[in-house]
Amino acid sequence: MAASVKQYKVIGEELWKGRSEKINAELFALTYGALVVQLIQDYEDYDEVNKQLEKMGYNIGTRLIEDFLARSGMGRCSDFREVGEVIAKVGFKTFLNISPGVVHAPPPSPSVNRQSNPTPSQPSFILTFDENPLAEFVELPEEALEGGLWFSNVLCGVIRGALEMDIGQGFGFRPGSFDGAISISVLQWLLNAETSHPTSSPPHRLTRFFTTLHSALKNPSRAVFQFYPSSDDQIQLITSIAQKAGFGGGIVVDYPNSKKARKVFLCLYVGQQPTQKLPEALDGEEEQDSKVRFERRREREKSRSKSKRKSVKDRDWIIKKKELYRKRGKEGVPNDSKYTGRKRRAVF
């Protein structure tokens, strides 16, 4: 894990250096204190202020995770210990330019109930901040600290929102934000239940997905989903839930008689449209070698690129490189002569 921690630290530093909108983090740190003061004046109850800060952070985390995954390219963590390292060394470094320390609690021994059945406990870790940019420009009164105010509780909400964000839990976009939606190979993942909790069941995940998507789309608009169902029951489940959410439309299948070229599309409509018709499906016999049109084109381009002659490093290219090395102060660059870039004979 020591090598991984160092690797995560390097990733976080590179992401922070590559961010062009660092002003967002500084502005948030400058205005956060005034935000907390306003919440205290509005609610006059520190417990309620803590809840509002956590809720605010949760909404931020659900949106921030998409930016984080797009920038970092991080994959799925192998265990909970790696989750803590990524949050501390990559997540906080990317957005706030800080790297809190991580203390992983040893896995507690399973507790035994009255029936002598061991119940495994959840792993945990502690983040320790040597510096907190949210508290740099704020002086909290003693009564707030003694009254139970969790000043940086927004960070807890951000972590929870980022970890719980799943497309099956719905979208957090404002109503009417998009003119349309296109998706490839997403719907079938909503049919997986990772836990036994009722909210992880496929019907619940699909309902949340289509309900929030319908709200985020403008009226009128369209949405197209290409997916790979494993049975007709899955198609029936997806279409029925989409229609209950308010969508119109149906299923379009391209090349239904082909094994490899067959594609299933869910075409949905929001609102009443004058020309509300499903697109015509591509039909016909299975194409040669069971390949669709774009696959053959891709192979032609690949063979064409192989047949191209590789670029030759001629005399001008060599002289240009030498000049570049001399400007950089590199020593031992050979002098130019009439033999520079000259092709040698095969036999002397």
pLDDT tens-digit map of 34-68: 888 888 888 878 888 889 999 888 888 877 877 77
**Cα dihedral: 242, 248, 251, 252 (round 10):** -140
The amino acid that residue 129 corresponds to is: F
User: Is the Cβ–Cβ distance between 136 and 159 less than 8 Å?
Assistant: no
How does residue 240 score in pLDDT terms, banded at 50, 70 and 90?
very high
Between 148-157, 270-279, 307-316, the lowest mean confidence (pLDDT) is in: 307-316
Task: Check if the beta carbon of residue 254 is closer than 8 Å to that of residue 265.
Answer: yes
Residue 242 burial by Cβ neighbours in a 10 Å radius (0-12, 13-18, 19+): buried
Name which of 128, 173, 134 is nearest 30 in CA terms: 134
- In this structure, what token pair is assigned to residue 269? 């409509």
The reported pLDDT for the residue numbered 224 is 93
Name the average pLDDT for the chain: 78
pLDDT beyond 60 at 20: no
Establish whether the linkage from the previous residue to 203 is cis, with ω within 30° of 0.
no
pLDDT of residue 265: 93
Given this model, what pLDDT does residue 71 score?
A: 73
Q: What DSSP string describes 234-247?
A: HHHHHHHHHHHTT-
Q: What is the mean pLDDT of the segment spanning 140-154?
A: 79
CA distance linking residue 159 with residue 99, whole number of Å: 14
pLDDT at 138: 75
Residue 256 has pLDDT above 90, yes or no: no
pLDDT tens-place string over residues 291-311: 556 667 777 777 776 655 555
> Which residues 6+ apart lie within 8 Å of 227 measured at CB?
183, 185, 186, 187, 188, 238, 264, 266
Whether residue 186 contacts residue 167, with contact meaning beta carbons closer than 8 Å, is answered with: yes
pLDDT tops 80 at residue 201: yes
Give residue 247's pLDDT.
Answer: 92
Please, are residues 194 and 200 in contact by the beta-carbon 8 Å criterion?
yes
The model's pTM is 0.51
pLDDT band at 121 (very low <50, low <70, confident <90, very high): low
Q: Which one is predicted more confidently, 219 or 2?
A: 219
- Residue 268 has a pLDDT of 92
Q: Which residue has the higher pLDDT, 14 or 89?
A: 89
